Amino acid sequence: MNSKTIIESEEATAIRKISTLRQSMVQILAYIADAIGVVSVYAFSLMLRFGAQIPPDSLPSFINATVVMLAVVILIFSLLGLYRTVWRTTGIDELLRVALASMLATGLGAVITVLMDWRLPFTVYISGTVLVFLFSGSVRIAYRVLRRMQTGLAFSGSWRRTMVVGAGETGSLLIRQMGENPNLRMRAVIVVDDDPTKIGKTVRGIRVAGDRTQIPELVEKYKIDLIVLCIPSASEDDRHEIIRLCTRTSAAIKTVPSFKEIVDERQVSEVTDIDITDLLTRKPNEIYTNEIREYLSDRVVMVTGGGGSIGSELCRQIVKYMPSKLVIFEIYENSAYDLQQQLLSNGISVPVIVEIGTIRDVERLNQVFEIHRPEVVFHAAAHKHVPLMENSPAEAVKNNIFGTYNVGMAAINHNTRRFILISTDKAVNPTSVMGASKRLAEHVIQYLNSKGKTKFAAVRFGNVLGSNGSAIPLFQRQIAMGGPVTVTDKRITRYFMTIPEAARLVLTAGHMAETGEIFILDMGEPVNIDDIARTLIRLSGYRPDIDIKIEYTGLRPGEKLYEELFLDEEKPDETRYRGIYIGRVKTPAPEVIEKNLEWLHKQVEMGEDVRTCFTSLLSTYRPENKCLRDPELCEDQ
């Protein structure tokens, strides 16, 4: 244990001791307050009864009776837990318990005093019950009010003006906890709800100011700092729509636990960041389970690059369809091992085998194929970082192009049924080495499709939310460090989908592989990266340009402002599956591709410039074309 940990532990112990001492002091003060209150109440009741002229001969019995009533009240209050309650949370339930305790104490005290012949007048018992309730209840409420005033003064500079979305029970509980827990640093200002019968009414004193459509204008009108979604049972479509409206504001955005988490006893006040998948505000494409099961069930399936973002998600989904074996081929042993342990810990009955190796090693590939005889191969192994491949172009060629060729030939030689290449939208009109290498990898699988019985296909899609090396994890790390968040250009856009959705569509497209098709996934409309960064800052509970700064660094080598999914000459055809298209593009003849690959291999071996080679092989590759990278630069040309 280091010194910092020891200090933090000592501080925590000290805080606990102070908190315990404070609670003990409050309890002692509660006993004293109730004792003074009971004595005062019964003295006042007797004076009311006798008009301030208490008979002297009855005074001793009245004093004895008051002592008995005091003891009984303290006893009953203790038995009902009124001294264990946190007074700053006093509410209607607490007051009801005070009322019950007052009645029980009076009843028991009356019996004892009558038996002891220290009888009090009947009206004194009645007035004493009412006054004890009023006094004890008022003390507790007063304590709560003072505490709230105290915390309000202490944190007046750091309260966040909060909009609560949802006027149901969850929203009501959160509003209550805002008032009771100063550590939340939140103060409810308005509530929003789609139920027209609730608009104009109040929830715990906070007005329901409008419905979801008014969120942007209400945020501006009431100067809202934070929006908290209290809609645990809302449908996915409703949730996405509300988040979309919230992201049009300058307010930070958080959410309460889901309905399931609330049932599992998580506190409503545990406001959390919104899940990253909520950045995708379009409806995800549907799953075609039967079609996927048809070609994966009882088959040996192999995933190259199985430890990566897409590869690992493919593995997680593949095992659900009960293949006879899953083979993970990966060069990075740690990620492969972690994935294997994760799959096995889920209790699956599918054998999961990890084979370590590189797709550049033909001998190792043939060895693995000979041992496992995979019937379906998903080829996700690739170098994908655009700036890094600009610095190491020959490595992109060796891995992305010839690595694909190596795996494809091993598949043909070992009678693999289907081979699916994971491609990218950067292969369309590429300006980067990485994009050009993936476009030539598409050529490779179309060439290999003519070489044997294996059915080849490629699946092309854009960015996936949260994948390793993508912008989203970088933004998250930068936000966690307090900023700034770096965006290359304010105008830059990208296509996005979630990792699970991309994997599902890849599996579905694999069912259709026949003749070297290039399947293109429908990713909706492109999303502005600057908007993504600002949304992610808000979803993390901060305000862009205020709490977290955004800096623009300029386009990196090989990077385009706008990505595309289709080549100019491609005419995408719809398939029978929603969200999947086939790009019909004229490719070179197999013998031409074969000669091109032989020539490229020699050029790389001789150390020739890779970009020059790409220019000769791909008419769509224009690395220095600034009009492709930034069309606005050439608008007037």
Q: What is the DSSP letter of 264?
A: T
Assess whether pLDDT exceeds 60 at residue 451: yes
Q: Which two tokens stand for residue 295?
A: 């070609």
Residue indicated by tokens 């599902």:
504
pTM over 0.75: no
DSSP string, 55-95: -GGGHHHHHHHHHHHHHHHHHHHHHTTTTTS-GGG--HHHH
Percent of the chain with pLDDT over 70: 79
| Of 15 and 99, the one with more pLDDT | 99
If one compares 85 and 432, the residue with the highest pLDDT of the two is: 432
pLDDT of 190 higher than 80: yes
Span 460-487, pLDDT tens digits: 877 766 666 667 778 888 988 988 999 9
Identify the residue with better confidence: 434 or 118. 434
Question: Mean pLDDT lowest for which of 23-37, 57-71, 79-93, 204-218?
Answer: 79-93
**Measured CA distances, 72 to 38, 68, 75, 165, 419 (Å):** 10, 6, 5, 47, 83
Residue 249 pLDDT greater than 90, yes or no: no
360 three-class SS: coil
pLDDT tier, 148 (very low <50, low <70, confident <90, very high otherwise): low
Average pLDDT score over residue span 71-89:
69
Task: Render the burial of 537-558: b for 16+ CB within 10 Å, e for the rest.
Answer: bbbbbbbbeebbebeeeebeeb
Lookup: tokens for 249: 């504001």
Would you give the end-to-end CA distance of the chain in angstroms?
66
Q: What is the pLDDT of residue 26?
A: 64
Q: What is the mean pLDDT of the chain?
A: 80
What pLDDT is attached to residue 469?
61
pLDDT of residue 253: 85
Over residues 34-53, the mean pLDDT reads 74
User: Cβ atoms within 10 A of the Cβ of 568, count?
Assistant: 9
Instruction: Report whether pLDDT(590) > 60.
Output: yes
Tell me which amino acid residue 109 is.
G
Which amino acid appears at position 577 of this protein? Y
**Phi and psi angles of residue 85, each rounded to the nearest 5 degrees, phi first:** -75, 140
Residue 342 and residue 358: Cα distance in Å, rounded?
23
Please report which confidence band the pLDDT of residue 533 belongs to, taking 50, 70 and 90 as the band edges: confident
pLDDT score of 436 more than 90:
yes
pLDDT for 206-230, tens place per residue? 999 999 999 999 999 999 989 999 8
For residue 613, count other CB atoms closer than 10 A to its CB. 22
pLDDT tens figures, 384-428:
888 899 999 999 999 999 999 999 999 999 999 999 999 988 888
Domains of the chain (ranges plus CATH)?
3-153 (no CATH), 160-272 (3.40.50.720), 295-463+495-524+569-631 (3.40.50.720)
Is residue 91 very low, low, confident or very high in pLDDT (cuts 50, 70, 90)?
low
Tell me the pLDDT tens digit for each residue of 509-519.
888 888 888 88
Kindly report the number of other CB atoms within 10 A of residue 64's CB atom: 14
pLDDT higher than 70, residue 153: no
Split at pLDDT 50, 70, 90, the class of 87 is: very low
Q: Give CA 66 to chain center in angstroms.
A: 61
- Among 362, 457, 371, CA closest to 409: 362
Rounded Cα gap, residues 333 and 578, in angstroms:
37
